[in-house]
Amino acid sequence: GAVVSQHPSWVICKSGTSVKIECRSLDFQATTMFWYRQFPKQSLMLMATSNEGSKATYEQGVEKDKFLINHASLTLSTLTVTSAHPEDSSFYICSARDAGFNSPLHFGNGTRLTVT
Amino acid sequence: AQKVTQAQTEISVVEKEDVTLDCVYETRDTTYYLFWYKQPPSGELVFLIRRNSFDEQNEISGRYSWNFQKSTSSFNFTITASQVVDSAVYFCALSEETSGSRLTFGEGTQLTVNP
- Taking only the tens place, the pLDDT of each residue in A68-113 is 999 888 899 999 999 999 999 999 999 998 776 777 788 999 999 9
Interface test with B, best of A92, A101, A103, A113 (most B CBs within 10 A): A101
Q: Is residue A50 exposed (0-12), middle (13-18) or buried (19+ Cβ within 10 Å)?
A: buried
Query: What's the gap in Å between the CA of B107 and the closest CA on chain A?
Result: 5
Give the pLDDT band (50/70/90) at residue A39: very high
Of A105, A64, A23, the closest CA to residue B36 belongs to: A105
**Cα–Cα distance between B20 and A60 in angstroms, integer?**
34
Mean pLDDT of chain A: 92
Q: Is B8 on the interface with A (CB under 8 A)?
A: no
**Cα–Cα distance between B36 and B23 in angstroms, integer?**
9
**Cα–Cα distance between B93 and B34 in angstroms, integer?**
6
| pLDDT value at A57 more than 80 | yes
Give the pLDDT band (50/70/90) at residue B69: very high
Q: Is B62 on the interface with A (CB under 8 A)?
A: no
Helix (H) or strand (E) holding B64: strand B64-69
The confidence score (pLDDT) of residue B6 equals 98
Question: Using alpha carbons only, how large is chain A's radius of gyration in Å?
Answer: 13
Q: Is B101 on the interface with A (CB under 8 A)?
A: yes
For A9, A24, B77, B80, B108, the CA distances from B113, given in Å and listed in that order, are 27, 34, 15, 12, 16
Instruction: For the sheet with A4-7, list strands across it.
Output: A4-7, A19-25, A76-81, A67-73
